[in-house]
Structure 1
């Protein structure tokens, strides 16, 4: 069985900026990573990261039939602006069977079941993220740090994601 990570976002450069290195490391560890997009754009940055891409609207319509991922990662902006995404995140946190990870600059105040975590990027993740940032035309405004920081909901059963550790 392969582990699955579904990433929910509207903006490709945002995915690369906040989670690109983590996604590369998950792909290299054998995870199936799919970015579910509500918008369109140049997919080259995501191709560089090695992730699959699907339409968010189609995924939301078929969510009940879709195999549930071990982890869902969501843009905090999308969490705040799309009631369906917010409801899905809150339900996943309540059930405790899916790890829920959020990234972005605006942390939702209503999420009290989450803690700050970080992922230390491998050298390969930093290199691929830098290339993806360049392809997204944001390399000049964003640097590639050694870690990416997220908010992460705790699962009821032990997490399969040993790559996310509490942020200090």
Structure 2
């Protein structure tokens, strides 16, 4: 059985910028990673990261029929903007079987009690691939940094993601 990660973002640029290294490290660990975004964009950056792309609208329509991922990474702005994404995140947090990881400037206030700040320390490969993906979206030269910061919901069962460490 392979672990699955679904990444829900408003754009390829947002996914690469905020979760690109996390995604690469999961791909390198053997995970099946699917990025769900709305609209047609240049896919070179996602190819560099080694992930599959799926149309967000189609995936949300068939969400109940899709195998549930072990982890869902979601842009906080998507949580706020799309009721279906919001409902999926809240259900995942309530059931405690899917790890929920959020990124973005503002974590929704209603999740403050459900999620904690965590860091993912990027491997050297993740930093290199993320830098190349940033170049593909026109952000060459942006400092990749050593880690990415998220808010993560606790699971009832032990997490499959030992690479996320508390930020405090």
Aligned length: 167
Residues 139, 104 of structure 1: alpha-carbon distance in 2 compared, 3 angstrom cutoff: farther
Unaligned runs of 5+ in 2: none
Are residue 120 (structure 1) and residue 139 (structure 2) matched? no
Answer whether contact 1:34 1:52 (CA < 8 A) is retained.
yes
Residue 40 of structure 1 and its aligned partner are, at CA, apart by 2.0
Please, what TM-score do these two structures have when normalized by structure 1? 0.97
Structure 1 distance, partners of 2:51, 2:124, is 18
Structure 2 distance, partners of 1:102, 1:4, is 16
Structure 2 distance, partners of 1:82, 1:62, is 15
Structure 2 distance, partners of 1:6, 1:89, is 12
1:70-115 CA distances to partner (integer Å, 9 max, x unpaired)?
Answer: 0000011111111111111011101111000000112111102100
SS at match of 1:115: strand
Structure 2 distance, partners of 1:87, 1:11, is 20
SS at match of 1:18: helix
* Runs of 4+ more than 3 Å apart: none
SS at match of 1:110: helix
Residue 63 of structure 1 and its aligned partner are, at CA, apart by 1.1
Residue 11 of structure 1 and its aligned partner are, at CA, apart by 1.0
Please, what TM-score do these two structures have when normalized by structure 2? 0.97
Residue 117 of structure 1 and its aligned partner are, at CA, apart by 0.5
Structure 2 distance, partners of 1:16, 1:152, is 18
The two structures, once aligned, show a CA RMSD in angstroms of 0.9
Aligned runs of 1:68-83 on 2, under 5 Å? 68-83=68-83
Residue 64 of structure 1 and its aligned partner are, at CA, apart by 1.2
SS at match of 2:108: coil
Unaligned runs of 5+ in 1: none
Which region of structure 1 is more displaced relative to structure 2, 33-42 or 121-130? 33-42
Residue 139 of structure 1 and its aligned partner are, at CA, apart by 2.6
Answer whether contact 1:10 1:39 (CA < 8 A) is retained.
no
Query: Match of 1:84?
Result: 84
Are residue 101 (structure 1) and residue 101 (structure 2) matched? yes
1:45-86 CA distances to partner (integer Å, 9 max, x unpaired)?
Answer: 011000000011111111111100000000111111111111
